Amino acid sequence: MIAADAHLPITLLDDPDPGIREVAAYALAAASSRAGEISAALHARFRVEDHARVRAGMLLAIAQLAREHRHEDATAFTRALWSDPARPAEVRVGAALGWLCQVDDPVPDTLRTTIEESVTPELCRLLSPSPWMRQVDDRGAEGLPHTLWQMLDPDTWPGPPEPVF
């Protein structure tokens, strides 16, 4: 359904409201066809995006679409971003998550170092409203640490925290 009218959410990638851009990217990542057109639109928006959380979301959308549609070039794209120390933390971490979702390779030490250096409480708070992080934990800034723990060391992940009522 999203792909049939992909032109609608694609136009929303240029909306002045960052929240609209972020949700449009999230919706487009779930499209079942027109992946090439959607991926090109996400890449184009990423190149000009100035909102930190939306920039990270664009990378997650690109990676999600690439994984589902076997876009091999996305793996090199995300690796180049997470390994570039000149990039801001949200780009490096978003790209690292995207890369981890696309490959079954062992986690390089350089990626672990990138995450250790980049993931701060401030970044966790910044990314927690992201639809991708809310999917993991909608009670605060725990989505990013839990996601990383699951991906980097799944054997020791205790599972989601108990709900606090």
Comparing 138 with 5, the larger pLDDT belongs to 5
> pTM here?
0.84
Q: Which two tokens stand for residue 125?
A: 């708070």
Residues of the chain with pLDDT > 70, as a percent, come to: 84
Comparing 52 with 139, the larger pLDDT belongs to 52
Give the pLDDT confidence score for residue 164 in this predicted structure.
42
Question: Over 70: is that where the pLDDT of 165 sits?
Answer: no
Please state, in angstroms and rounded to a whole number, the distance separating the CA atoms of residues 125 and 134. Answer: 12
CB 66 within 8 A of CB 74: yes
The residue-averaged pLDDT of 108-126 equals 91
Please state, in angstroms and rounded to a whole number, the distance separating the CA atoms of residues 145 and 75. Answer: 22
Question: Over 90: is that where the pLDDT of 96 sits?
Answer: yes
Comparing 39 with 139, the larger pLDDT belongs to 39
Please state, in angstroms and rounded to a whole number, the distance separating the CA atoms of residues 79 and 126. Answer: 22
Comparing 159 with 122, the larger pLDDT belongs to 122
Q: How confident is the model at residue 163 (pLDDT cuts 50, 70, 90)?
A: very low
Angle value at C-alpha 86, between 74 and 60, nearest 5 degrees: 30
Q: Which residue has the tokens 């992940």?
A: 157
Q: Which two tokens stand for residue 158?
A: 């205790």
The residue-averaged pLDDT of 81-85 equals 96
The residue-averaged pLDDT of 9-27 equals 95
Comparing 9 with 83, the larger pLDDT belongs to 83
